[in-house]
A and B are shown apart, each in its own frame.
Chain A
């Protein structure tokens, strides 16, 4: 137990996990454990928010390698509109449309990677310009929300396997498994090094541009998949739905403990960060429902709920500064302890 606690305190996701557990506990209390942990509730939480979780992860990957991409949000919409429009207007089979959707996101990400790593345009500006471009593309492809998907797709997406396992969670698990593999390859080390200090990574013989390009490509694939999830979830297309996600994912990554300057964090940081956002919103809305039931005459508009959850997120962002400090402190302590000849993870 002590060992576990110690490991936790020195993990990059410490910040994200602490904040996530706090908000999870609040959610459970408000909603009562039985209702919160019911398969239906979990399923709806994951299924409804999977696109956000996935693009937060791709943003996390990018941030770990030292870049940022606001255009992940519009890329989700891009994938969404391509997946709908190719079968609808060209009459091609659905799977072709879906492949093209992912390919479209990969192409956008690759272009974005090209202008940041090879043209060396400051990353904030390049991805902002890309938001414009992709937003325009989306509307060009699909002028207004429309379209539909076969019922089998959204029914599968919403289904709960074996009575407890949401289908959408499987997709999430697949991405996480991919990261678990990636983390144990030389590429991950090169990724962290590139994010940590470009010059130092380069002088260690790493082709930093190629590493960044690869990260962009992986992010493109994940964004494409996120767009497909969005398609399956909404069962239609909307060219403008994704834009708000762009900056949200950056905040989620920070909440999870990924460093803005790169080279620090893991993908579980992004997961906890995204879940934190989702549960905050969920918890606040449930709390207000509960209050309006408990206190007669208490009624507020949705606006108050949004305000409350954004305020909580602002406070949580401020808290990350302190939890990160605590984590770095424990890592330092561990290093000092190890230097004295102690064994790993025992204190």
Chain B
């Protein structure tokens, strides 16, 4: 009986402090990593963890907002990122003069594709998973058409430098953009009516409707904003990796969803913060880094990754039982 109470209170604690838990787990995995392989505690490894976390967190920004609306998940995140990355790299072609234009194009393209998603969800009323999946297919095909399968060019040196520069030899500059974005999102979600409404309608679309929130417009706007964020994340990804291939950033779709969920959001909406997403991203990156450092084979890494995600979800993301 006592044991049950302990388990119950542990679960309550975990569920009450999800963001904290995600950071804690990331820290735990990192410690295990260091114990097993002390050499992994070096500036380089630390910097690359921060950089990859930042990139994943950037791509998870839009996804966080979409998940909060409770209208589903966005499977087009990665493909939008890939598209803007490819276009920017082709346009920049190793020179600095088109950076401004690239930013404009990334934002505009992201907004346009997000708008298509949003219209599909709110006006045509297809399940978000389906419309964003179909969109992502079309977007991926577009990449191949535009580049004929072989993207050329490379990112502008200035952009690459601005992203991969290490402050104090440790903190990658991309972290700075991530921090800026998190502050922006914090303000947007906590201190603007947009954020207030987003959480409310994510909690319950019908209650929000009767409170006088224009749900459809909000969801549409959210998809557009998310699209813009993916677009920018794609540009940053292009700058960070300096080269691109078709569909290179597609993996970020699913990774971002997992990061968002590990960070405490629920797919039915109304819950979750961007800090949570960052924590989730950190956990994912540290875990995969740990597995890589232990020189576990790729396939075993995948298996462990999958099982760990299942374990984490069992801890705090279970549905309610049918019986009350």
A-side residues, CB < 8 A to B, are 115, 119-122, 124-126, 128-140, 143, 198-199, 202, 208, 247, 250-251, 254, 260, 301, 303-304, 306-307, 310-311, 313-314, 317-318, 320-321
Contact = CB atoms under 8 A, between A and B. Distances in A.
Contact of A128 (B120, B258, B303): B258
Nearest to B145: A303
Contact of A199 (B138, B148, B322): B322
A173 to B, nearest CB: 29
Contacts, number: 138
Contacts of A311: 138, 141
A307 B322 contact: no
A108 B143 CA distance: 35
The 6 A-B pairs with the shortest beta carbon distances in the complex, nearest first, are A132-B306, A136-B302, A139-B299, A133-B306, A136-B303, A307-B141
A128 B267 CA distance: 13
Interface stretch (B96-104, B129-137, B232-240, B275-283): B129-137
Nearest to B319: A120
A121 B258 contact: no
Nearest to A121: B313
Classify the interface of chain B: helix, strand, loop or mixed: helix
Interface of B: 73, 75, 120, 124-127, 129-131, 133-135, 137-138, 141-142, 144-145, 148-149, 254, 257-258, 261, 266-268, 297-307, 309-310, 313-314, 317-323
A310 B129 contact: no
A321 B267 contact: no
A303 B144 contact: yes
Q: Is the interface of A mostly helix, strand, loop or mixed?
A: helix
A229 B307 CA distance: 29
A100 to B, nearest CB: 19
A140 B300 contact: yes
Contacts of B305: 129, 132, 136
Nearest to B140: A310
Contacts of A136: 298-306
Contacts of A317: 126, 130-131, 134
Nearest to B314: A119
B299 A137 contact: yes
Contacts of B261: 122, 125
A120 B314 CA distance: 8
22 contacts: A122-B261, A125-B261, A129-B310, A130-B310, A136-B300, A136-B305, A136-B306, A139-B298, A139-B299, A140-B297, A202-B322, A260-B127, A260-B130, A301-B148, A303-B149, A306-B141, A311-B141, A313-B134, A317-B126, A318-B120, A318-B126, A320-B126
Nearest to A309: B141
Contact of B129 (A133, A202, A260): A260
